[in-house]
Amino acid sequence: MASGTFAAPAGFRESPARPLSHGEVVASTYAIRDEIGRTDTGIVFEARDMLLDRSVAFKLAWRDPGFPSLLAEARRCAAVRDPCAVQVHGMGVHNGAEYVVGERVEGHLLRDELVRPLAAEVYLARLRTLIAAVTRAHDGGIAVGDISGSTVLVDPGARSNGGISDRLVLGRLSLSQIPAFGPHGRILAPEVVLGDVEPGDPAAAEAIDLYGLGCVAIEMASGAPPFADDDPMVEARGHASEPPPRITDLRPDLPSEVSDIVDWLLAKAPAARPRSAGDVLLQLEAITERLGHHTRTLRILIVDDDTARARWLWSLTRRAHPAAVVEIASEGTDAAHKLNRDQPDLVFVDAALRGVMNALELCMYARGLEGGGRSQMVMVGSMGERDKALFAEASVQFIPDDAALPNAILERVRQAFTETPRVRKTRVTVSG
């Protein structure tokens, strides 16, 4: 530590002196050039690999006692099989200090390109690349932490996602060439702000990253993260208790289902968020693929007299698979007409449906139609054991309306697509 009479020697975190000079050669291979940055774990230089004639990032650990090894950071990058993580070339020790050598990445921070709105196709490609990156990180058992425009590098010289999108590199997987935290230097997921979990809790890491994806989706749409404020306390209070902005209000040119995904990601309760980044990726791909041409469809009918709930189910089922073609009926007689006309592949019916034709009557009507057996009826909601038995006799499936409902709907739609014969177009109908 520096004091009035003591200056920390070069190589210690508090020292203003560089531990390596420009032109110094390490391990007879790496010629040190400019300093890139200083982090909690070490100092980062640009260097030249003289043997392979390429630029590299050279990170040297601080000499302070008790500082962690760079090995965990190197293994973290090596565990993620995705362009979002830099490649690790090797490790060693120089004058008693550990070092790691990695891929040199260059570009600009994501926030710097948000001064003007991203075109819709660029927005969707960026969002897909980020979600895929977090998915690959989670597959490798790695948490990302702070995900924002300040912690993501856009490398326009490299392509990912089959050449569609610029490469995006995450700060925590950059060997510190990119900041791992935004301006306030903290995780802003509601459960962390409220003190319900610690930011480094492994059990909470996946849900925290999902919330971060929702935040960066808002930032890409508006140019600023949700609840952004110069006062960190005000910003934290927004994350803890205020409703976030909606993509549909910020960018009406984007598919409305994208807004629904982001709303789900930004749920205040961790258990109310999607179950995984991988499943969010499948939903987004279903949306983007639908923008293209598909010859095979899965027809879904949703029967529900609650307009808001029906619209939510409509969005959810469309995100489940790109082949889903979804229609809504607000009451039983309208649903009966659509069943007779379209013979949908899958029908979701609100168990509490009332009116001229209630839920049970609608299911019995469907079974009485010529060829009615092709429409799989699914009852959604709560019901007594007696009613469950009646619906079971009519070969009607049942999904309870609880916290697991969204994931159960997604799985049922995807299952329906695999079950439907490929010799004809698959039809999907959703009833709520």
Q: pLDDT tens across 43-55, in order? A: 999 999 999 999 9
Contact residues for 47 (Cβ-Cβ < 8 A; gap 6+): 26, 30, 31, 32, 33, 55, 56, 57, 58, 101
Tell me, what's the pLDDT at 360? 85
Q: How many residues does the chain have?
A: 432
CB burial of 318-329 (b: ≥16 within 10 Å; e: otherwise) equals bbbbbbbbbbbb
How high is the pLDDT of residue 423? 38
Q: Count of CB atoms within 10 A of residue 428's CB?
A: 30
Q: Hey, which CATH number is domain 293-430, 3.10.400.10, 3.10.310.70, 3.40.50.2300, 3.40.50.300?
A: 3.40.50.2300
Spatial separation of the C-alpha atoms in residues 321 and 300, rounded to whole Å: 11
pTM over 0.75: yes
Residues of the chain with pLDDT under 50: 1-2, 162-163, 372, 422-432
Q: Name 90's bridge partners.
A: 101
Task: For 128-146, give one letter per residue: b (16+ CB within 10 A) or e.
Answer: bbbbbbbbbbbebebbbbb
pLDDT of residue 41: 92
Domains of the chain: which residue ranges? 25-103, 108-284, 293-430
Which residues face 99 on adjacent strands? 60, 92
pLDDT at site 103:
97
- The pLDDT score that the predictor gives to residue 182 is 86
For residues 35 and 18, is the Cβ–Cβ distance under 8 A?
yes
Which fold is adopted by the domain 25-103? Phosphorylase Kinase; domain 1 (3.30.200)
CA 122 vs. chain centroid, Å, equals: 16
**Cα 115 versus chain centre, distance:** 23
Homologous superfamily in CATH for domain 108-284: Transferase(Phosphotransferase) domain 1 (1.10.510.10)
pLDDT at 375: 84
User: What is the structure's pLDDT at 391?
Assistant: 75
